[in-house]
Amino acid sequence: MESLKVLQLSGERATFDEATVEKLRSSLRGGLLLPNDEGFDKARTVWNAMIHRSPALVVRCAGVADIRQAVTFAHEHRLLTAVKGGGHNIAGNAVCEGGLLIDLSAMRAVTVDPIAAVAQVEPGATLGDFDHECQAFGLATPVGINSTTGVAGLTLGGGFGWLSRKYGMTVDNLMAADVITADGRLLRASDKENPDLFWAIRGGSGNFGVVSRFEFKLHPVGPEVLSGLIVYALKDATSALKLFRDYVKKLGNDTNVWTVMRKAPPLPFLPPEVHGTEIIAFCVFHAGDPDEGRKAIEPLRKLGTVLGEYIGMQPYTAWQQTFDPLLAPGARNYWKSHNFVDLSDGAIDVAVKYVQSLPSPHCEIFFGLIGGATTRPKPDATAYSHRDAIYVCNVHGRWETAAEDQKGTAWARGFFREAAPYATGGVYVNFLTDDEPERIKAAYGPGYERLVSAKKKYDPDNLFRMNQNIRPSP
């Protein structure tokens, strides 16, 4: 082979001869991929099709030893380094241009101890992997709403989903983690071991090392849950959302309801004439007694004229996959996000206005309801600090071709600007795109300086910078 040039942190390129490359290859149980190798393109592809980067080499990790070898090699040669778990991150930070990609996607083991109600999870596991193993024992923990999302990235940013009102953020259920730091050490992070690192990884993104194992506490859930959709026309959205915000203030934590405004997909319970028209859907989930859940959701049927409804008992794993077709890989995605403590009239008006000018039938605006147990910890309990957030709004721009980029991004940015006066100023770090560096401090919140201290200690050279980056020095 010819000499290999790999981009360094400095912006210069390191040159490796064949012997150096083969030495790295022989040290791995997984594998090493170069640009012309079979599997390279698959390894460098991430969920968001707007991201098209090509690393110089990919280490396909099969276990902890491979991760350590890759990190040590990157640290020794000061290489630009990206870490890929599920590859689902909107900003595309799971892959870098010209550097080293540490690919964890083959490490997908999930081991459940049903007696202790604890799960050990490898960093390449998806939510679907996690739910599949845990639901064999009627157990779960709060994760996201799309089964192809990676557990690792979701957790490191905070994590929330249908169970969060009852059981908190994903990081509130993280008991410990094994972390490989920039110098190749394997550290256990928990309340008792390296507690500063444990605090930092619970919301501080991938800034402090590569997590090779997560340990979660589990809760009894399912195997069947009451869940489904109630759909109204967009003309009812303004009044429905105002009634909904009052309903939420009296809602028990077993119940969660997210609102989504978009063009109606061809759902079988909707009349054909509704397909492709603007709607608001109330996505209903109840984690407790089904009869109590039916009582809790009854007011949602009285918010206007119902176009269609599908609510019933179904497997928790099936509900976790319900929105997968709307979030499949291969589309171009651009998001904007706000946190809200309430849905003010102004916020509602802006949202309804922008749904009337969707640039693509794949675009949507949702308000994800959290609150409940997510608000109980103090803001400084974890690096995820937005404990005041009741709604997390995601303006989900999504389309198929590059020709639509300008129109779609302008639409999302327009909503963001007009909704900002009604928002908290905080933002969920996993929803940040790669063009919002000015919002990084807002994403990490009042604990930012504490995160900087942890960064100086565990990654002083900023090896792990392909993320919403916390710099170890100004």
Q: What is the pLDDT of residues 19-29, one digit of tens each?
A: 999 999 999 99
Residue keyed to tokens 């990790």:
61
Q: What is the pLDDT averaged over residues 350-371?
A: 96
DSSP state of 330: T
Spell out the SS3 assignment of 93-135. CCCCCCCEEEECCCCCCEEEECCCCEEEECCCCEHHHHHHHHH
Q: What pLDDT is recorded for position 1?
A: 62
What pLDDT does residue 158 have? 97
Domain 4-103's class?
alpha beta
61-88, pLDDT tens digit by residue? 999 999 999 999 999 999 999 999 999 9
Q: How far is CA 227 from CA 147, 285, 288, in A?
A: 16, 4, 11
446 closest CA partner among 205, 192, 203, 206 = 203
First to last CA, the chain: 40
> Tokens 């302008």 sit at which residue?
410
Q: Report pLDDT digits (tens) over 384-433.
A: 999 999 999 999 999 999 999 999 999 999 999 999 999 999 999 999 99
Picking from 47, 238, 164, the residue whose alpha carbon sits closest to that of residue 428 is 164
CA nearest to 335, candidates 262, 422, 264, 434: 434
Looking at the predicted structure, is the pLDDT value of residue 175 above 90? yes
Instruction: Name the strand (E) or helix (H) holding 293.
Output: helix 290-297
Q: In sequence order, what E strands does 293-381 have?
A: 306-315, 332-340, 364-369
**Domain map of the chain by residue range?**
4-103, 110-220+445-458, 224-437
Alpha-carbon torsion angle 178, 182, 183, 184, nearest 10: 40
Q: How far apart are CA 345 and CA 31, in angstroms?
A: 55
Length of the chain, in residues: 474
Neighbours of 257 (CB within 10 A): 22
Query: For the chain, how long is the longest CA-to-CA vector?
Result: 71
DSSP 412-465: HHHHHHHHGGGS-S---GGG--TT-GGGHHHHHGGGHHHHHHHHHHH-TT----
With bands split at pLDDT 50, 70 and 90, how would you rate the model's confidence at 45?
Answer: very high
What pLDDT is recorded for position 2? Answer: 72
d(CA 123, CA 71): 15
pLDDT of residue 326: 86
C-beta of residue 204 within 8 angstroms of C-beta of residue 470: yes
Q: Please name which of 336, 330, 236, 213 lies closest in space to residue 282, comparing C-alpha atoms.
A: 236
Dihedral sign for Cα 207, 209, 213, 215, please: negative
Residues 238-247 as b/e (b if ≥16 CB within 10 A, e otherwise) read bebbebbbeb
Kindly report, residue by residue over 310-341, the tens digit of the pLDDT.
999 999 999 999 999 888 888 999 999 999 99
Q: Indicate the class that CATH gives domain 224-437.
A: alpha beta
Classify domain 110-220+445-458 at the CATH class level: alpha beta
Contact 252, 296 (CB under 8 A): yes
Predicted local distance difference test score (pLDDT) of residue 433: 92
User: Under DSSP, is residue 209 helix (H, G, I), strand (E, B) or coil?
Assistant: coil
Task: Assess whether pLDDT exceeds 70 at residue 474.
Answer: no
Closest to 155 in 3D by CA, of 100, 95, 65, 88: 88
Q: What is the DSSP letter of 353?
A: H
